Amino acid sequence: MPGYIRKFGLFAGFVAYVALVIRFGVSFHFSKIEYDKYLIIQAKYIAIIASGNNTNNLPKLQEVKNPSITVGNKIFKIILLCIAIIVVAIPEGLALAKTLSLAFAIEKMQAENNLVRFIMTSCEKIVTAY
């Protein structure tokens, strides 16, 4: 059972990594297009200002940050999130696996008419101490 939980944690981390990288790629593409449009509009504004025309009628240009500056930071955050998923999934799964295996053992003992008293509470204490 712990092996399956460990594999599921690794799989969940990998799936999260792939999904977040795809999401990052799509958002980066669209933010790059928006930044390119911003540069074109900014060049037009500079040309209008340099020609000495009236600039009071121009709408205010909203600044758009260059998406290429934050690429490393965003990828680093994605990797940290996936590592956190893997690190959290593995130890949490071990305690759950111990509790489930002890619960199944108690059921089997009860099916065989063995005396089972307060074993589940002691099993819970063992898993909590783990």
Q: Is pLDDT at 73 greater than 80 in this prediction?
A: yes
Whole-angstrom Cα distance, residue 105 to residue 122? 13
Residue that wins the pLDDT comparison between 32 and 9: 32
Per-residue confidence (pLDDT) for residue 128, from 0 to 100: 58
Q: Is pLDDT at 97 greater than 60 in this prediction?
A: yes
Mean pLDDT over 104-126 rounds to 66
Per-residue confidence (pLDDT) for residue 96, from 0 to 100: 65
How would you classify residue 62: left for phi > 0, otherwise alpha for psi between -120 and 50, otherwise beta? Answer: beta
Residues 31/67, Cβ–Cβ less than 8 Å:
yes
